[in-house]
Structure 1
Amino acid sequence: MNEKEFWDIIKQMQSYDEPFEWLIEHLSKKTDDEIIDYEIHLKNALDKSYTSHLWGAGYLIMGGCSDDCFEYFRCWLIAQGQEIFELTLENPEFLAECIPDFYEEEEIVPELEDMLYIAMEAYSLKKTGDVDCDEASDEFLSRVEEREYECNRDNIEFDWEDEDDLMVLFPKLWDRFGENPLG
Protein backbone atom coordinates (compact mmCIF):
# COMPACT_ATOMS: atom_id res chain seq x y z
CA MET A 1 0.00 0.00 0.00
CA ASN A 2 1.43 3.35 -0.98
CA GLU A 3 0.63 6.74 0.56
CA LYS A 4 -2.02 7.54 -2.06
CA GLU A 5 -3.83 4.28 -1.28
CA PHE A 6 -3.64 5.10 2.44
CA TRP A 7 -5.33 8.46 1.90
CA ASP A 8 -7.87 6.89 -0.48
CA ILE A 9 -8.89 4.45 2.26
CA ILE A 10 -9.21 7.31 4.76
CA LYS A 11 -11.47 9.12 2.28
CA GLN A 12 -13.58 6.00 1.70
CA MET A 13 -14.02 5.44 5.43
CA GLN A 14 -15.68 8.85 5.77
CA SER A 15 -18.71 7.69 3.80
CA TYR A 16 -19.67 4.96 6.27
CA ASP A 17 -21.91 5.29 9.32
CA GLU A 18 -19.49 3.08 11.29
CA PRO A 19 -16.17 4.18 9.77
CA PHE A 20 -13.86 2.36 12.18
CA GLU A 21 -15.71 -0.92 11.87
CA TRP A 22 -15.65 -0.59 8.08
CA LEU A 23 -11.94 0.25 8.08
CA ILE A 24 -11.02 -2.69 10.33
CA GLU A 25 -13.04 -5.05 8.14
CA HIS A 26 -11.62 -3.56 4.93
CA LEU A 27 -8.02 -3.77 6.11
CA SER A 28 -8.47 -7.30 7.44
CA LYS A 29 -9.03 -8.42 3.84
CA LYS A 30 -5.69 -6.97 2.75
CA THR A 31 -2.35 -8.77 2.83
CA ASP A 32 -0.32 -8.67 6.04
CA ASP A 33 2.14 -6.32 4.35
CA GLU A 34 -0.63 -3.94 3.28
CA ILE A 35 -1.94 -3.77 6.85
CA ILE A 36 1.59 -3.01 8.07
CA ASP A 37 1.94 -0.39 5.30
CA TYR A 38 -1.27 1.27 6.51
CA GLU A 39 0.15 1.45 10.03
CA ILE A 40 3.41 2.94 8.82
CA HIS A 41 1.59 5.58 6.74
CA LEU A 42 -0.49 6.46 9.81
CA LYS A 43 2.66 6.78 11.92
CA ASN A 44 4.31 8.92 9.24
CA ALA A 45 1.30 11.26 9.18
CA LEU A 46 1.40 11.46 12.98
CA ASP A 47 5.10 12.31 12.81
CA LYS A 48 4.56 14.93 10.09
CA SER A 49 1.87 16.63 12.18
CA TYR A 50 3.95 16.73 15.36
CA THR A 51 4.58 20.48 15.26
CA SER A 52 4.53 23.33 17.74
CA HIS A 53 2.02 25.30 15.70
CA LEU A 54 -0.45 22.43 15.46
CA TRP A 55 -0.05 21.68 19.16
CA GLY A 56 -0.80 25.33 19.90
CA ALA A 57 -3.91 25.18 17.76
CA GLY A 58 -5.04 22.00 19.52
CA TYR A 59 -4.35 23.58 22.89
CA LEU A 60 -6.47 26.59 22.01
CA ILE A 61 -9.32 24.58 20.46
CA MET A 62 -9.60 22.22 23.42
CA GLY A 63 -8.62 24.54 26.24
CA GLY A 64 -5.47 22.55 26.95
CA CYS A 65 -3.70 19.67 25.27
CA SER A 66 -1.57 16.99 26.95
CA ASP A 67 0.79 14.70 25.01
CA ASP A 68 -1.91 12.04 24.68
CA CYS A 69 -4.58 14.57 23.80
CA PHE A 70 -2.33 15.98 21.07
CA GLU A 71 -1.84 12.49 19.62
CA TYR A 72 -5.61 11.84 19.59
CA PHE A 73 -6.17 15.30 18.06
CA ARG A 74 -3.72 14.46 15.24
CA CYS A 75 -5.55 11.16 14.70
CA TRP A 76 -8.78 13.13 14.33
CA LEU A 77 -7.06 15.41 11.84
CA ILE A 78 -5.82 12.45 9.77
CA ALA A 79 -9.34 11.00 9.76
CA GLN A 80 -10.57 14.23 8.12
CA GLY A 81 -8.67 13.29 4.96
CA GLN A 82 -5.55 14.33 3.10
CA GLU A 83 -6.76 17.73 1.91
CA ILE A 84 -7.83 18.97 5.34
CA PHE A 85 -4.73 17.39 6.90
CA GLU A 86 -2.37 19.18 4.53
CA LEU A 87 -4.20 22.51 4.60
CA THR A 88 -4.13 22.43 8.40
CA LEU A 89 -0.42 21.65 8.50
CA GLU A 90 0.20 24.65 6.23
CA ASN A 91 -1.98 26.89 8.37
CA PRO A 92 -3.64 25.64 11.59
CA GLU A 93 -6.01 28.64 11.42
CA PHE A 94 -7.84 26.63 8.74
CA LEU A 95 -9.37 24.65 11.62
CA ALA A 96 -11.48 27.68 12.55
CA GLU A 97 -13.41 27.12 9.31
CA CYS A 98 -13.01 23.35 9.13
CA ILE A 99 -14.41 22.20 12.48
CA PRO A 100 -18.19 21.94 12.07
CA ASP A 101 -20.38 24.19 14.21
CA PHE A 102 -22.21 21.19 15.63
CA TYR A 103 -19.04 20.25 17.56
CA GLU A 104 -19.82 23.10 19.95
CA GLU A 105 -23.54 22.34 20.05
CA GLU A 106 -23.00 18.63 20.74
CA GLU A 107 -19.86 19.11 22.84
CA ILE A 108 -17.70 17.00 20.52
CA VAL A 109 -13.96 17.07 21.12
CA PRO A 110 -11.80 16.61 17.99
CA GLU A 111 -9.96 13.51 19.18
CA LEU A 112 -9.93 9.98 17.74
CA GLU A 113 -7.83 7.65 19.86
CA ASP A 114 -9.39 4.67 18.05
CA MET A 115 -7.36 5.50 14.93
CA LEU A 116 -4.25 4.27 16.77
CA TYR A 117 -5.56 0.70 16.96
CA ILE A 118 -7.23 0.19 13.57
CA ALA A 119 -4.36 -1.67 11.86
CA MET A 120 -3.61 -3.83 14.89
CA GLU A 121 -7.27 -4.80 15.21
CA ALA A 122 -7.51 -5.51 11.47
CA TYR A 123 -4.40 -7.70 11.67
CA SER A 124 -5.82 -9.54 14.68
CA LEU A 125 -9.19 -10.01 12.94
CA LYS A 126 -7.44 -11.41 9.87
CA LYS A 127 -5.32 -13.82 11.92
CA THR A 128 -7.80 -14.96 14.58
CA GLY A 129 -11.29 -13.78 13.67
CA ASP A 130 -11.23 -11.50 16.75
CA VAL A 131 -10.08 -7.88 16.99
CA ASP A 132 -8.72 -8.39 20.52
CA CYS A 133 -6.06 -11.08 20.46
CA ASP A 134 -2.87 -10.40 22.39
CA GLU A 135 -0.91 -12.97 20.40
CA ALA A 136 -1.82 -11.38 17.07
CA SER A 137 -1.19 -7.90 18.51
CA ASP A 138 2.30 -8.91 19.60
CA GLU A 139 2.97 -10.39 16.16
CA PHE A 140 1.68 -7.22 14.51
CA LEU A 141 3.96 -4.99 16.59
CA SER A 142 6.93 -7.24 15.76
CA ARG A 143 6.10 -7.01 12.05
CA VAL A 144 5.98 -3.21 12.22
CA GLU A 145 9.30 -3.20 14.05
CA GLU A 146 10.82 -5.56 11.44
CA ARG A 147 9.95 -3.01 8.77
CA GLU A 148 12.33 -0.69 10.61
CA TYR A 149 9.86 2.10 11.01
CA GLU A 150 11.64 4.94 12.74
CA CYS A 151 9.85 7.74 14.46
CA ASN A 152 10.82 10.99 12.72
CA ARG A 153 9.68 13.28 15.49
CA ASP A 154 12.18 15.74 16.81
CA ASN A 155 11.67 17.31 20.18
CA ILE A 156 9.41 20.27 19.73
CA GLU A 157 10.70 23.70 20.54
CA PHE A 158 7.50 25.58 21.19
CA ASP A 159 7.04 28.92 19.50
CA TRP A 160 4.38 29.81 22.04
CA GLU A 161 4.31 29.86 25.84
CA ASP A 162 0.80 30.73 26.90
CA GLU A 163 -2.67 31.72 25.75
CA ASP A 164 -1.55 35.29 25.04
CA ASP A 165 0.87 33.91 22.44
CA LEU A 166 -1.84 31.68 20.97
CA MET A 167 -4.22 34.63 20.70
CA VAL A 168 -1.65 36.40 18.53
CA LEU A 169 -0.65 33.31 16.51
CA PHE A 170 -4.21 32.17 15.85
CA PRO A 171 -6.68 35.08 15.92
CA LYS A 172 -9.42 33.16 14.04
CA LEU A 173 -9.12 30.15 16.34
CA TRP A 174 -9.06 32.47 19.35
CA ASP A 175 -12.24 34.21 18.19
CA ARG A 176 -14.03 30.91 17.87
CA PHE A 177 -12.59 28.79 20.70
CA GLY A 178 -10.64 31.10 23.04
CA GLU A 179 -13.50 31.65 25.44
CA ASN A 180 -15.38 28.44 24.63
CA PRO A 181 -12.96 25.59 23.99
CA LEU A 182 -14.23 22.17 22.96
CA GLY A 183 -12.42 20.26 25.70
Structure 2
Amino acid sequence: MSYGKFLDESGDLNEWRKKINLPDQHYEKTFADLRDIWIKDNRYSELIAFIHENWDSGQWDEFFEPLEKHLIENKLEKEFIKFWKGILRHRFSSLWDWNKEFGRKTEYWDGSKKTFECQKLTLEGLYRFKQGLVELGAEQEIQKTNELIKTVDKLEKPKPKRTTDKRKIDENVFWELIKLNREKSEDKFDFIENLSNQLEEFKPTEIKRFERTFLSKYNELNRWEIWALAYIVRRGCGDDAFDYFKAWVISKGQEAFEDVKNLKVSELKKHFDEDPQLEEMFSLAENVYENKTGELMSPVRVKKQKLTGKQWEEESLEKDFPEIWKIFEHKITAPNIGYK
Protein backbone atom coordinates (compact mmCIF):
# COMPACT_ATOMS: atom_id res chain seq x y z
CA MET A 1 0.00 0.00 0.00
CA SER A 2 2.61 2.59 1.08
CA TYR A 3 5.01 1.31 -1.56
CA GLY A 4 2.58 2.13 -4.36
CA LYS A 5 1.68 5.47 -2.80
CA PHE A 6 5.34 6.44 -2.54
CA LEU A 7 5.97 5.55 -6.18
CA ASP A 8 2.88 7.49 -7.30
CA GLU A 9 3.90 10.60 -5.41
CA SER A 10 7.45 10.25 -6.71
CA GLY A 11 5.99 10.40 -10.21
CA ASP A 12 3.91 13.43 -9.25
CA LEU A 13 7.01 15.13 -7.87
CA ASN A 14 8.88 14.55 -11.12
CA GLU A 15 5.95 15.93 -13.13
CA TRP A 16 5.90 19.02 -10.93
CA ARG A 17 9.63 19.52 -11.53
CA LYS A 18 9.07 19.38 -15.29
CA LYS A 19 6.27 21.95 -15.11
CA ILE A 20 8.53 24.49 -13.42
CA ASN A 21 11.41 23.64 -15.75
CA LEU A 22 13.69 21.98 -13.24
CA PRO A 23 16.25 19.53 -14.65
CA ASP A 24 15.68 15.76 -14.56
CA GLN A 25 17.19 13.94 -11.61
CA HIS A 26 17.96 10.34 -10.71
CA TYR A 27 15.14 8.43 -9.02
CA GLU A 28 17.23 8.08 -5.84
CA LYS A 29 17.30 11.88 -5.46
CA THR A 30 13.55 12.05 -6.06
CA PHE A 31 13.03 9.33 -3.44
CA ALA A 32 15.15 11.31 -0.97
CA ASP A 33 13.21 14.51 -1.67
CA LEU A 34 9.89 12.77 -1.16
CA ARG A 35 11.19 11.09 2.00
CA ASP A 36 11.99 14.52 3.43
CA ILE A 37 8.55 15.82 2.47
CA TRP A 38 6.86 12.90 4.24
CA ILE A 39 9.01 13.50 7.32
CA LYS A 40 8.12 17.20 7.32
CA ASP A 41 4.43 16.31 7.01
CA ASN A 42 4.68 13.80 9.91
CA ARG A 43 3.75 10.89 7.63
CA TYR A 44 5.86 8.54 9.71
CA SER A 45 3.64 5.46 9.53
CA GLU A 46 3.48 5.59 5.74
CA LEU A 47 7.23 6.14 5.36
CA ILE A 48 8.05 3.36 7.82
CA ALA A 49 5.70 1.01 5.94
CA PHE A 50 7.36 1.94 2.64
CA ILE A 51 10.79 1.09 4.04
CA HIS A 52 9.52 -2.18 5.54
CA GLU A 53 7.93 -3.18 2.24
CA ASN A 54 11.33 -2.94 0.58
CA TRP A 55 13.27 -5.93 1.94
CA ASP A 56 16.25 -4.79 3.96
CA SER A 57 19.79 -6.05 3.51
CA GLY A 58 21.66 -2.92 4.53
CA GLN A 59 21.27 -1.00 1.28
CA TRP A 60 18.51 1.18 2.71
CA ASP A 61 20.55 2.49 5.64
CA GLU A 62 21.55 5.74 3.95
CA PHE A 63 17.99 6.35 2.79
CA PHE A 64 16.39 5.96 6.22
CA GLU A 65 19.05 7.76 8.28
CA PRO A 66 17.21 11.13 8.17
CA LEU A 67 14.02 9.48 9.40
CA GLU A 68 15.88 7.63 12.15
CA LYS A 69 17.57 10.86 13.26
CA HIS A 70 14.28 12.78 13.20
CA LEU A 71 12.48 10.19 15.34
CA ILE A 72 15.22 10.24 17.96
CA GLU A 73 15.58 14.04 18.05
CA ASN A 74 11.82 14.46 18.46
CA LYS A 75 11.57 11.74 21.12
CA LEU A 76 9.19 9.66 19.01
CA GLU A 77 9.96 6.44 20.86
CA LYS A 78 6.96 4.45 19.64
CA GLU A 79 7.67 5.23 15.98
CA PHE A 80 11.40 4.55 16.39
CA ILE A 81 10.76 1.12 17.91
CA LYS A 82 8.19 0.25 15.23
CA PHE A 83 10.62 1.34 12.54
CA TRP A 84 13.61 -0.67 13.75
CA LYS A 85 11.72 -3.80 14.75
CA GLY A 86 10.30 -4.03 11.25
CA ILE A 87 13.80 -3.91 9.78
CA LEU A 88 15.17 -6.37 12.31
CA ARG A 89 12.41 -8.88 11.52
CA HIS A 90 13.70 -9.08 7.96
CA ARG A 91 17.24 -9.57 9.18
CA PHE A 92 16.32 -12.19 11.77
CA SER A 93 14.29 -14.10 9.22
CA SER A 94 17.20 -14.19 6.78
CA LEU A 95 19.65 -15.13 9.50
CA TRP A 96 17.70 -18.12 10.82
CA ASP A 97 16.82 -19.31 7.32
CA TRP A 98 20.46 -19.30 6.24
CA ASN A 99 21.67 -20.75 9.51
CA LYS A 100 19.16 -23.61 9.41
CA GLU A 101 19.19 -24.54 5.74
CA PHE A 102 22.50 -23.30 4.38
CA GLY A 103 24.75 -22.65 7.35
CA ARG A 104 26.99 -25.56 6.51
CA LYS A 105 30.00 -26.23 4.33
CA THR A 106 30.05 -28.83 1.56
CA GLU A 107 32.33 -29.64 -1.33
CA TYR A 108 30.41 -27.22 -3.54
CA TRP A 109 29.01 -24.65 -1.15
CA ASP A 110 30.10 -22.75 1.94
CA GLY A 111 26.84 -21.56 3.42
CA SER A 112 28.56 -20.50 6.63
CA LYS A 113 29.86 -17.38 4.86
CA LYS A 114 26.33 -16.25 4.07
CA THR A 115 25.26 -17.01 7.64
CA PHE A 116 28.16 -14.89 8.92
CA GLU A 117 27.14 -12.01 6.66
CA CYS A 118 23.54 -12.17 7.92
CA GLN A 119 24.74 -12.42 11.52
CA LYS A 120 26.98 -9.37 11.07
CA LEU A 121 24.18 -7.33 9.47
CA THR A 122 21.70 -8.32 12.20
CA LEU A 123 24.14 -7.41 14.98
CA GLU A 124 24.88 -4.07 13.34
CA GLY A 125 21.15 -3.36 13.27
CA LEU A 126 20.67 -4.42 16.87
CA TYR A 127 23.49 -2.20 18.12
CA ARG A 128 22.18 0.72 16.10
CA PHE A 129 18.68 0.10 17.46
CA LYS A 130 20.08 -0.07 20.99
CA GLN A 131 21.95 3.21 20.58
CA GLY A 132 18.71 4.95 19.63
CA LEU A 133 16.93 3.37 22.58
CA VAL A 134 19.66 4.66 24.90
CA GLU A 135 19.15 8.20 23.55
CA LEU A 136 15.40 7.81 24.05
CA GLY A 137 15.79 6.33 27.55
CA ALA A 138 13.72 3.23 26.70
CA GLU A 139 15.09 0.98 29.44
CA GLN A 140 12.70 -1.95 29.01
CA GLU A 141 13.39 -2.19 25.28
CA ILE A 142 17.14 -1.91 25.92
CA GLN A 143 16.98 -5.01 28.13
CA LYS A 144 15.10 -6.96 25.45
CA THR A 145 17.58 -5.85 22.82
CA ASN A 146 20.51 -6.99 24.94
CA GLU A 147 18.96 -10.46 25.06
CA LEU A 148 18.49 -10.46 21.31
CA ILE A 149 22.13 -9.48 20.85
CA LYS A 150 23.20 -12.48 22.94
CA THR A 151 20.94 -14.74 20.88
CA VAL A 152 22.41 -13.58 17.57
CA ASP A 153 25.96 -13.57 18.89
CA LYS A 154 25.66 -17.24 19.90
CA LEU A 155 23.45 -18.18 16.93
CA GLU A 156 21.19 -20.03 19.35
CA LYS A 157 17.46 -19.50 19.39
CA PRO A 158 16.17 -19.40 22.96
CA LYS A 159 13.65 -22.03 23.97
CA PRO A 160 10.11 -20.64 24.33
CA LYS A 161 8.71 -20.35 27.84
CA ARG A 162 6.53 -23.22 28.97
CA THR A 163 3.10 -23.51 27.34
CA THR A 164 0.27 -24.29 29.75
CA ASP A 165 -2.78 -23.66 27.53
CA LYS A 166 -2.93 -26.20 24.68
CA ARG A 167 -6.00 -24.73 22.96
CA LYS A 168 -6.00 -23.47 19.42
CA ILE A 169 -7.04 -19.84 19.19
CA ASP A 170 -9.99 -19.83 16.82
CA GLU A 171 -12.56 -17.03 16.73
CA ASN A 172 -14.47 -18.43 19.73
CA VAL A 173 -11.37 -18.65 21.92
CA PHE A 174 -10.32 -15.18 20.74
CA TRP A 175 -13.56 -13.62 21.97
CA GLU A 176 -13.45 -15.71 25.14
CA LEU A 177 -10.01 -14.32 25.99
CA ILE A 178 -11.22 -10.77 25.35
CA LYS A 179 -14.31 -11.27 27.52
CA LEU A 180 -12.59 -12.92 30.48
CA ASN A 181 -9.84 -10.34 30.68
CA ARG A 182 -12.19 -7.40 30.26
CA GLU A 183 -14.35 -8.67 33.11
CA LYS A 184 -11.45 -8.92 35.55
CA SER A 185 -9.81 -5.62 34.57
CA GLU A 186 -10.41 -2.20 36.08
CA ASP A 187 -9.68 -0.31 32.87
CA LYS A 188 -8.38 -0.81 29.33
CA PHE A 189 -4.74 -0.63 30.40
CA ASP A 190 -5.25 -3.26 33.08
CA PHE A 191 -6.99 -5.30 30.37
CA ILE A 192 -3.91 -5.15 28.12
CA GLU A 193 -1.70 -6.40 30.94
CA ASN A 194 -4.06 -9.22 31.95
CA LEU A 195 -4.63 -10.35 28.37
CA SER A 196 -0.88 -10.30 27.70
CA ASN A 197 -0.22 -12.52 30.71
CA GLN A 198 -2.84 -15.06 29.66
CA LEU A 199 -1.82 -15.05 26.01
CA GLU A 200 1.72 -15.95 27.00
CA GLU A 201 0.39 -19.32 28.19
CA PHE A 202 -0.30 -20.33 24.56
CA LYS A 203 2.06 -21.74 21.94
CA PRO A 204 3.84 -19.17 19.76
CA THR A 205 1.83 -20.33 16.74
CA GLU A 206 -1.40 -19.59 18.61
CA ILE A 207 -0.20 -16.12 19.55
CA LYS A 208 0.14 -15.46 15.84
CA ARG A 209 -3.35 -16.88 15.27
CA PHE A 210 -4.63 -14.40 17.87
CA GLU A 211 -3.00 -11.58 15.91
CA ARG A 212 -4.48 -12.83 12.63
CA THR A 213 -7.97 -12.89 14.14
CA PHE A 214 -7.49 -9.41 15.58
CA LEU A 215 -6.42 -8.00 12.21
CA SER A 216 -9.31 -9.71 10.45
CA LYS A 217 -11.83 -8.21 12.89
CA TYR A 218 -10.12 -4.85 12.56
CA ASN A 219 -10.66 -5.01 8.79
CA GLU A 220 -14.35 -5.75 9.25
CA LEU A 221 -14.77 -2.34 10.88
CA ASN A 222 -13.21 -0.47 7.98
CA ARG A 223 -16.33 1.43 6.93
CA TRP A 224 -17.11 5.11 6.50
CA GLU A 225 -20.21 4.83 8.71
CA ILE A 226 -18.14 3.50 11.61
CA TRP A 227 -15.61 6.27 11.07
CA ALA A 228 -18.50 8.72 11.37
CA LEU A 229 -19.43 7.17 14.71
CA ALA A 230 -15.84 7.53 15.93
CA TYR A 231 -15.71 11.13 14.71
CA ILE A 232 -18.95 12.08 16.47
CA VAL A 233 -18.06 10.32 19.72
CA ARG A 234 -14.57 11.83 19.92
CA ARG A 235 -15.36 15.28 18.46
CA GLY A 236 -12.95 14.59 15.63
CA CYS A 237 -11.07 11.52 14.44
CA GLY A 238 -8.13 11.35 12.02
CA ASP A 239 -6.66 8.31 10.29
CA ASP A 240 -4.56 7.03 13.20
CA ALA A 241 -7.28 7.75 15.75
CA PHE A 242 -9.73 5.71 13.67
CA ASP A 243 -7.28 2.78 13.71
CA TYR A 244 -7.05 3.00 17.50
CA PHE A 245 -10.85 3.30 17.72
CA LYS A 246 -11.33 0.03 15.82
CA ALA A 247 -8.78 -1.67 18.07
CA TRP A 248 -10.65 -0.40 21.15
CA VAL A 249 -13.98 -1.67 19.81
CA ILE A 250 -12.51 -5.17 19.48
CA SER A 251 -11.11 -4.94 23.01
CA LYS A 252 -14.61 -4.32 24.37
CA GLY A 253 -15.72 -7.80 23.33
CA GLN A 254 -17.91 -9.52 20.79
CA GLU A 255 -21.18 -7.83 21.76
CA ALA A 256 -19.71 -4.35 21.46
CA PHE A 257 -17.98 -5.34 18.23
CA GLU A 258 -21.21 -6.56 16.64
CA ASP A 259 -23.21 -3.56 17.85
CA VAL A 260 -20.67 -1.13 16.40
CA LYS A 261 -20.16 -3.13 13.21
CA ASN A 262 -23.91 -3.20 12.56
CA LEU A 263 -24.44 0.30 13.97
CA LYS A 264 -27.16 -0.86 16.36
CA VAL A 265 -27.95 2.66 17.50
CA SER A 266 -30.05 1.69 20.52
CA GLU A 267 -27.15 -0.38 21.94
CA LEU A 268 -24.21 1.91 21.24
CA LYS A 269 -24.01 4.28 24.17
CA LYS A 270 -23.67 1.56 26.84
CA HIS A 271 -20.34 0.48 25.39
CA PHE A 272 -18.70 3.92 25.50
CA ASP A 273 -17.58 4.14 29.12
CA GLU A 274 -14.01 5.27 28.41
CA ASP A 275 -12.04 7.07 25.72
CA PRO A 276 -12.46 4.77 22.69
CA GLN A 277 -8.79 4.50 21.79
CA LEU A 278 -6.48 1.53 22.36
CA GLU A 279 -3.32 1.72 20.29
CA GLU A 280 -1.69 -0.92 22.50
CA MET A 281 -3.77 -3.68 20.88
CA PHE A 282 -1.60 -3.41 17.77
CA SER A 283 1.58 -4.41 19.58
CA LEU A 284 0.06 -6.81 22.12
CA ALA A 285 0.61 -10.13 20.31
CA GLU A 286 4.01 -9.01 19.07
CA ASN A 287 5.18 -8.18 22.60
CA VAL A 288 3.79 -11.42 24.03
CA TYR A 289 5.50 -13.45 21.31
CA GLU A 290 8.79 -11.67 21.99
CA ASN A 291 8.53 -12.23 25.74
CA LYS A 292 7.71 -15.90 25.29
CA THR A 293 10.25 -16.85 22.63
CA GLY A 294 12.98 -14.24 22.84
CA GLU A 295 12.47 -13.68 19.10
CA LEU A 296 10.74 -11.04 17.02
CA MET A 297 7.44 -12.20 15.58
CA SER A 298 7.35 -12.36 11.79
CA PRO A 299 4.62 -10.18 10.24
CA VAL A 300 1.12 -11.64 10.18
CA ARG A 301 -0.45 -11.11 6.78
CA VAL A 302 -4.17 -10.63 6.23
CA LYS A 303 -5.83 -9.18 3.15
CA LYS A 304 -6.42 -5.52 3.83
CA GLN A 305 -9.98 -4.37 3.27
CA LYS A 306 -10.48 -1.00 1.65
CA LEU A 307 -12.70 1.58 3.29
CA THR A 308 -16.26 0.85 2.19
CA GLY A 309 -19.58 2.65 2.48
CA LYS A 310 -20.59 6.20 1.68
CA GLN A 311 -18.01 8.91 2.25
CA TRP A 312 -19.15 11.83 4.39
CA GLU A 313 -18.11 15.39 5.12
CA GLU A 314 -17.61 16.79 8.59
CA GLU A 315 -20.21 19.51 8.01
CA SER A 316 -22.91 16.97 7.14
CA LEU A 317 -22.46 14.54 10.05
CA GLU A 318 -25.43 15.81 12.07
CA LYS A 319 -27.66 15.58 8.99
CA ASP A 320 -26.37 12.20 7.78
CA PHE A 321 -26.26 10.49 11.18
CA PRO A 322 -28.97 12.22 13.29
CA GLU A 323 -29.58 9.31 15.68
CA ILE A 324 -25.92 8.85 16.56
CA TRP A 325 -25.47 12.62 16.81
CA LYS A 326 -28.36 12.85 19.26
CA ILE A 327 -27.06 9.99 21.44
CA PHE A 328 -23.68 11.66 21.92
CA GLU A 329 -25.01 15.18 22.35
CA HIS A 330 -22.26 17.65 21.70
CA LYS A 331 -20.89 19.98 19.09
CA ILE A 332 -17.90 19.03 16.99
CA THR A 333 -15.23 21.61 17.66
CA ALA A 334 -12.17 19.83 16.27
CA PRO A 335 -10.65 21.16 13.05
CA ASN A 336 -10.67 19.18 9.82
CA ILE A 337 -7.69 16.89 10.41
CA GLY A 338 -7.66 15.01 7.16
CA TYR A 339 -10.03 12.09 7.18
CA LYS A 340 -10.47 12.13 3.40
Say whether the fold is shared (TM-score over 0.5): yes
Distance 2:333 2:260 in 1: 18
CA-atom RMSD in angstroms: 2.2
Question: Cα offset for 1:26?
Answer: 1.0
Matched-pair contact (CA < 8 Å) for 1:6–1:41: yes
Paired residue for 2:315? Answer: 163
Question: Cα offset for 1:182?
Answer: 11
Matched-pair contact (CA < 8 Å) for 1:24–1:119: yes
- The answer on 1:124 being equivalent to 2:281 is no
Distance 2:278 2:333 in 1: 14
- The answer on 1:99 being equivalent to 2:272 is yes
Question: Cα offset for 1:19?
Answer: 1.5
Equivalent residue of 2:183, what SS? coil
Question: Cα offset for 1:43?
Answer: 0.1
Question: Cα offset for 1:123?
Answer: 0.4
- The residue identity in structure 2 corresponding to 1:121 is N
Per-residue deviation, residues 96-121 of structure 1 (Å, max 9, x unmatched):
34323xx4xxxxx2101111111011
Question: Cα offset for 1:92?
Answer: 5.5
Paired residue for 2:280? Answer: 114
Alignment match of 2:184 (pick from 2, 16, 20): 16
5 Å matches for 1:58-73?
A: 58-73=230-245
Question: Cα offset for 1:81?
Answer: 0.5
Alignment match of 1:42 (pick from 211, 214, 219): 214
Matched-pair contact (CA < 8 Å) for 2:224–2:308: yes
Question: Cα offset for 1:157?
Answer: 5.5
Matched-pair contact (CA < 8 Å) for 1:60–1:178: no
Larger radius of gyration: 2
- The residue identity in structure 2 corresponding to 1:67 is D
- The answer on 1:6 being equivalent to 2:6 is no
Alignment match of 2:324 (pick from 169, 173, 179): 173
- The residue identity in structure 2 corresponding to 1:36 is K
Paired residue for 2:298? Answer: 141
Taking a change above 3 Å as real, the CA distance of residues 160 and 178 of structure 1, as seen in their structure-2 partners, is farther
Matched-pair contact (CA < 8 Å) for 1:13–1:19: yes
Higher relative contact order (CA 8 A, sep 6+): 1
Matched-pair contact (CA < 8 Å) for 2:192–2:284: yes
Distance 1:97 1:168 in 2: 23
Matched-pair contact (CA < 8 Å) for 1:96–1:172: no
Matched-pair contact (CA < 8 Å) for 2:232–2:332: yes
Aligned length in residues: 161
Per-residue deviation, residues 5-62 of structure 1 (Å, max 9, x unmatched):
1111110111223221111111111001100000000000100011110001101111
Equivalent residue of 1:110, what SS? coil
Distance 1:175 1:2 in 2: 38
Question: Cα offset for 1:179?
Answer: 2.0
Matched-pair contact (CA < 8 Å) for 1:54–1:92: no
Distance 1:155 1:176 in 2: 25
Distance 1:88 1:51 in 2: 11
Matched-pair contact (CA < 8 Å) for 1:63–1:178: no
Question: Cα offset for 1:172?
Answer: 3.1
Distance 2:244 2:217 in 1: 12
Matched-pair contact (CA < 8 Å) for 2:215–2:302: no
Matched-pair contact (CA < 8 Å) for 2:224–2:307: no
Taking a change above 3 Å as real, the CA distance of residues 181 and 92 of structure 1, as seen in their structure-2 partners, is farther
Equivalent residue of 1:7, what SS? helix
Taking a change above 3 Å as real, the CA distance of residues 124 and 48 of structure 1, as seen in their structure-2 partners, is same
Question: Cα offset for 1:178?
Answer: 4.8
Paired residue for 1:53? Answer: 225
| Structure 1 segments unaligned to the other structure (5+ residues) | 104-108, 129-135
